[in-house]
A and B are shown apart, each in its own frame.
Chain A
Amino acid sequence: MSDERITVGARERAALIGEADGERRPATQLWKRLSRLDAWALPVAALAVWEVLSRLGLISPFLMPAPSTILGTLSDLAASGTLMQHLQASLVRVTIGFLLGTLLALPLATLVGLSRPVERLLDPTIQALRSIPSLAWVPLLLLWMGIDEAPKLTLIAIGAFFPIYMNAVAGIRGVDRKLVEIGQVYRFSPLKLARRIIIPAALPSLLTGLRLGLGMSWLYLVAAELIAATRGIGYMLSDGRETSRPDIVLGAILLLAALGKLSDGLLKWLEGRLLRWRDSFTGGDANASD
């Protein structure tokens, strides 16, 4: 089995080489194609072992149903249309909550990053708010907003806000003073300085913040839906627990893993596109020959 010999760096390598080596010999082509699958090796192997152990009766189906059972449950839910409702509810919440957090964090971070007076005015308060565990807001949000969508979206936005804000400020403050000086030589206005030099230079850190913020959005989505919801993946989790259906709980967990990975992949793709100019370490690879 060649799958098992594939190393972790190979996928990155294949991505780096891209289409540039289209005229390589077939054996290398095949190796390249296999290399792209290396990220799947571990989860597929784990699922296979899990399935076998379940079939052999070594794992209790009441605690840990087999992957095939979970898949069956999910497809039943999909067939009845409820799965789609849960997915849709959660996706809409994450999207809106994340966007709210981003729309609040980026302008604030830009102002704080660019201006010391604004930093002195706002940053201590923001840091104080950050030290409150975000879940502590839940009772207050429920009191203020009831158990509708509003408290859920707010909680997700709060969760997304801090990593985005922190990374954006750090990114702006980390911009090379020597590049900023070029803008001064050309008498850029503060606005132009921000637009043409500081924001582009801070972009790598800004995008890292967005990815972390998105991860946080999923975290707080589940928290919000576990507390009070009638739909959504978090609701599937609590519903599965209440009705003693570990297959539903595990199905929801697998869905979260897939959705989290997908949405992060989307941002990672965007990052790759926006930061093509970057000249930095892309990870060591023992197999790299070029």
Chain B
Amino acid sequence: MLQIKALGKRYGDFAALAGVTLSVAPGEIVSLVGPSGCGKSTLLRIVAGLDRGFTGSVTLAGRPVTSPSPEVGVVFQEPRLMPWLTVAENIAFGVEGLAPSATKVADAARQVGLGDFLTAYPRQLSGGMAQRCAIARALMPKPGILLLDEPFSALDAFTRMNLQDLVLRLTQQDGVTLLLVTHDVDEALYLSDRVLVLGCAPSQVQEEVTVDLPHPRDRRDGRFAALRTRVLTTLIDLQTPTAS
């Protein structure tokens, strides 16, 4: 589905990404974790077609990525809803040209639990509801891959767990590929088939952890805990100067 080879990106003298190579299979769920400022979000923006001027190659379903594509859905850390549009209008925002039927939009709203809020404005929504709306909007054009940039980091723990399940449910039924950037190791392990730990200076994949646990996963499970220890160890090693 997604092939990234020797991806590099510089902002002036600062190398945000220095030769990252990774691939994501169709239907796979992959998480990127790592210290702040190591280019995780930059990588996601490049895949989304929002950042240009990189080196290396990024191909999506065989085609090089140069600009945003309808194959790619994006959920950002902030809901980024249009405050002057209702929930229904926001959900339909990306597919306006296709004139989605009202029932289709209402269905999408119901699937994210906003069926009773079609005519509400974003200011009337809680943070979790707003992010649900953003997820519905991102999935509306039926993307093959959904990119999530720390999508739940601004939410409380309980809401976060709900939304993690929601995203899994909505994407697994259509076999949507997920690429998730997160700071939350538990979130990465709970959702992903593979967790990639991205290191800093140079920004490269330092460790790859395959999560071979069936869904739904139990965060209290012993094997889950062992994987968490492994990812955390890598992260802590990356933080300490002796590691490099």
Chain A residues within 8 Å of B, Cβ to Cβ: 178-179, 181-182, 184-187, 196-197, 200-201, 203, 276-279
Is B84 among interface residues, defined by CB-CB distance under 8 A? Answer: yes
A64 to B69, CA, bound (A): 73
* Chain A interface, >50% SS class: helix
A271 to B89, CA, bound (A): 21
Is B110 among interface residues, defined by CB-CB distance under 8 A? Answer: no
A277 to B50, CA, bound (A): 28
Chain B residues within 8 Å of A, Cβ to Cβ: 48-50, 67-70, 72, 74, 76, 78, 80, 82-85, 93-94, 96, 121-123, 141
What is the chain B residue whose CB lies nearest that of A179?
A: B80
Select one of A181, A182, A278 contacting B93, CB under 8 A. Answer: A182
Q: Check if A203 sits within 8 Å of B84, measured CB to CB.
A: yes
Q: Check if B84 sits within 8 Å of A178, measured CB to CB.
A: no
A6 to B74, CA, bound (A): 52
Give the A-B contact count at a CB cut-off of 8 A: 51
Chain B: minimal CB distance from A177 (Å)? 10
A278 to B82, CA, bound (A): 11
Known: A185-B48, A200-B82. 9 other contacts (CB 8 A): A181-B50, A181-B76, A182-B94, A184-B68, A185-B74, A186-B68, A201-B84, A277-B85, A277-B122
Chain B: minimal CB distance from A47 (Å)? 41
A277 to B82, CA, bound (A): 10
A200 to B121, CA, bound (A): 14
Q: Given contacts A185-B74, A186-B94, A187-B67, are A277 and B123 in contact (CB under 8 A)? A: yes
Select one of B85, B94, B96 contacting A185, CB under 8 A. Answer: B94
A186 to B100, CA, bound (A): 15
What is the chain A residue whose CB lies nearest that of B45?
A: A181
Most B Cβ at <10 Å: residue of A182, A185, A197, A200? A185
19 cross-chain CB contacts under 8 A: A178-B76, A181-B76, A182-B80, A182-B82, A185-B48, A185-B68, A186-B68, A186-B93, A186-B94, A187-B68, A200-B82, A201-B84, A277-B83, A277-B84, A277-B85, A277-B123, A278-B83, A279-B83, A279-B123
Chain A: minimal CB distance from B50 (Å)? 6
Select one of A184, A187, A200 contacting B84, CB under 8 A. Answer: A200
Q: Give the chain A neighbours of B123 by CB distance below 8 A.
A: 277-279
Chain A: minimal CB distance from B54 (Å)? 16
A181 to B83, CA, bound (A): 15
Chain A: minimal CB distance from B48 (Å)? 7
A197 to B123, CA, bound (A): 17
Q: Give the chain A neighbours of B78 by CB distance below 8 A.
A: 178
Q: Give the chain A neighbours of B80 by CB distance below 8 A.
A: 178-179, 181-182
Q: Check if B94 sits within 8 Å of A179, measured CB to CB.
A: no
What is the chain A residue whose CB lies nearest that of B141?
A: A186
Q: Give the chain B neighbours of A278 by CB distance below 8 A.
A: 83, 123
What is the chain A residue whose CB lies nearest that of B96?
A: A196
Q: Give the chain B neighbours of A181 by CB distance below 8 A.
A: 50, 76, 80
A179 to B68, CA, bound (A): 15
